[in-house]
Structure 1
Amino acid sequence: MDDARGPVGPVHAPELPKWRRVLRRITRITILLAVVSSPFWGRALLRSMDFFRVRRVEIEGLRYATPDEIVSRLRVDTLASVWDDVSPLEARVAEHAQVRAVRIKRKLPGTLVVIVTENPPVALVNTPRGLIVVDADGDSLPVDPTRIDVDLPVLARKDSLLLRLLAETQAEEPALFARVSEVRRAGRGEIVFELPEFRILADSAVRAARLGEVLPVELDATRRNWRPRELDLRFRDQVIVRLQSP
């Protein structure tokens, strides 16, 4: 008797119910977490697996330093695993003068994410070698002004009081800080802030919050069609406006 059945094709396993697929996924995650949480053999087992070799490094938070500078300090080779201890990597990156803080996290299966908090530059200081970029402590930073636009106030020399005040203004009054082109000491314990439109006079005890009081005064002067030449903060609870000559 002839076989009436047609040709036999590939046999597919029936699709699992949705609840079983979800259960299987949960089981896999649970096993992975159990391995990861093991203080001894779990991490060692994961480090030995090619699946978790480092294949990519992502850098976040950079503005002044370059990614190449950070990656070169990591010194991650082709045998490194994302489960290796990242403390030595963080320590090497933290040695960079531009880095204030660093944290490394894992993105499975093979990516390290380096999150950098930079040490912000606050001024350009005149030196016999030309202008150098410095931070709030007066330390030179490896910032190349020919590569990165560093529009910072200029100081004639390193001055801890002025640098501290600039750093405070940068943090609390960034809109005003961005407009300051030069800061210098004047006679009798006074400080002069040069802006494109006018100058600010203050005493050496001035704080960033007090400097910020010039902004609403400037706005009011603009509404009145005044052209300020000088805003004087040396008098308690007042801002004296001196106008340009007609």
Structure 2
Amino acid sequence: MSRTGRTTADRERGAPVEVARPARRRRRDTPRDRRRRRLLGVAAALAVLALAGWALWAGPLLSVRTVHVDGATTLTAEQVRTAAGVAEGTPLLRVDVEAAEARVARLPQVASVQVARGWPGSVVVTVVERRPVAVVTDAGTRSLVDAGGVLFDTVTGEPPAGVVPLDVPSPGPDDPATRAALGALVALPGEVRAEVAGAVATTGEDVTLSLADGTVVVWGAGTDAEDKAAALVALLDQVESGALEPAATIDVSAPDAVVLR
């Protein structure tokens, strides 16, 4: 046998010779190849982000399907939804929550409002309604007044329970008489306020309350409201227990020196 691995017989028969080929060398990565792969990866990531951005900004998957209303009592949920003006089908990211809040805040009954996106498909409108403290008559119209002096709703029949008739010359949040009288009413505990049949003030210094049993309470200025309320409650408790005789007038304008007449 020769070094080629062929026998004499093979050579005589003319058998084909197998020539060993060198192994194919693997192509090495170049900086250009790596840079190209990085660019392709970045392009793919940007495409995914663009698609996700479109889905959030304009796509139907994350759009408004419902508008929830929380906190409404005198207002109906539909009134609040109408005021908010958020259309169903609007992509959540395109809902202008500040504009919706401003529109709901224009409702007279609303003291404060917050509008929030509720992922994946809702908007939540949370309102805090004004709570009536008194009812005033102005230009022939009876209106409910909150603790801040804001006239926010009209009434034609009986006002809500616990709402006190208030007589002031110019009802409103900037009127000293209105603020002083409302401060007196708000300072009273609920059970005592329920016994107040009316309140009168011509200035911020001469608030007078009338109780249901006919007792007149001289409140005076709007200052020291908490001390005056505490003095009045203590006196009424003593009258109820029999420790004091009923008085036609209770003057708490100086809470440290109460006068009964």
Task: Tell me whether the two structures share a fold, i.e. TM-score over 0.5.
Answer: yes
- 1:93: which partner in 2? 104
Deviation per CA, 1:115-163, whole angstroms, max 9, x where unpaired?
Answer: 1123343322223424222345655313445597264222333352232
Residue pairs, 1:80-159, within 5 angstroms:
80-83=90-93, 84-135=95-146, 138-144=149-155, 146=157, 149=160, 151-156=162-167, 157-159=169-171
Q: 1:55 aligns with which of 65, 68, 79?
A: 65
Q: Which moved more, 1:134-143 or 1:117-126?
A: 134-143
TM-score by length of 1: 0.67
Q: Whole-Å Cα distance in 1 between the matches of residues 116 and 195 of structure 2?
A: 37
Q: 2:246 aligns with which of 210, 227, 239?
A: 227
Judging changes above 3 Å, is the alpha-carbon distance between structure 1 residues 185 and 87 closer, same or farther for their aligned structure 2 residues? Answer: closer
- The answer on 1:239 being equivalent to 2:226 is no
CA shift for structure 1 position 52: 2.6
Q: Whole-Å Cα distance in 1 between the matches of residues 202 and 102 of structure 2?
A: 43
- 2:56: which partner in 1? 46
**Counterpart amino acid of residue 219 in structure 2:** A
- 1:19: which partner in 2? none
Residue pairs, 1:171-186, within 5 angstroms:
171-175=186-190, 176-185=192-201
- 1:216: which partner in 2? 234
Q: Whole-Å Cα distance in 2 between the matches of residues 229 and 147 of structure 1?
A: 27
Judging changes above 3 Å, is the alpha-carbon distance between structure 1 residues 91 and 155 closer, same or farther for their aligned structure 2 residues? Answer: same
Deviation per CA, 1:7-44, whole angstroms, max 9, x where unpaired?
Answer: xxxxxxxxxxxxxxxxxxxxxxxxxxxxxxx9x98665
CA shift for structure 1 position 181: 2.5
CA shift for structure 1 position 65: 3.1
Cα pair 1:184 1:193 within 8 Å, conserved: yes
Q: Whole-Å Cα distance in 2 between the matches of residues 138 and 95 of structure 1?
A: 17
Judging changes above 3 Å, is the alpha-carbon distance between structure 1 residues 180 and 207 closer, same or farther for their aligned structure 2 residues? Answer: farther
TM-score by length of 2: 0.63
Cα pair 2:70 2:126 within 8 Å, conserved: yes
Q: Helix, strand or coil: the match of 2:107?
A: coil
> Over aligned residues, Cα RMSD in angstroms?
3.2
Q: Whole-Å Cα distance in 1 between the matches of residues 159 and 52 of structure 2?
A: 45
**Counterpart amino acid of residue 201 in structure 1:** V
CA shift for structure 1 position 240: 2.6
Q: Whole-Å Cα distance in 2 between the matches of residues 186 and 91 of structure 1?
A: 35
- 2:211: which partner in 1? 195
CA shift for structure 1 position 111: 2.3
Deviation per CA, 1:159-178, whole angstroms, max 9, x where unpaired?
Answer: 52232124434554352444
Q: Whole-Å Cα distance in 2 between the matches of residues 233 and 76 of structure 1?
A: 52
Cα pair 2:136 2:144 within 8 Å, conserved: yes
Cα pair 2:135 2:163 within 8 Å, conserved: yes
Q: Helix, strand or coil: the match of 1:70?
A: helix
Q: 1:168 aligns with which of 183, 188, 202?
A: 183
Any unmatched runs of 5+ in structure 1? 1-37
Q: Helix, strand or coil: the match of 2:248?
A: strand
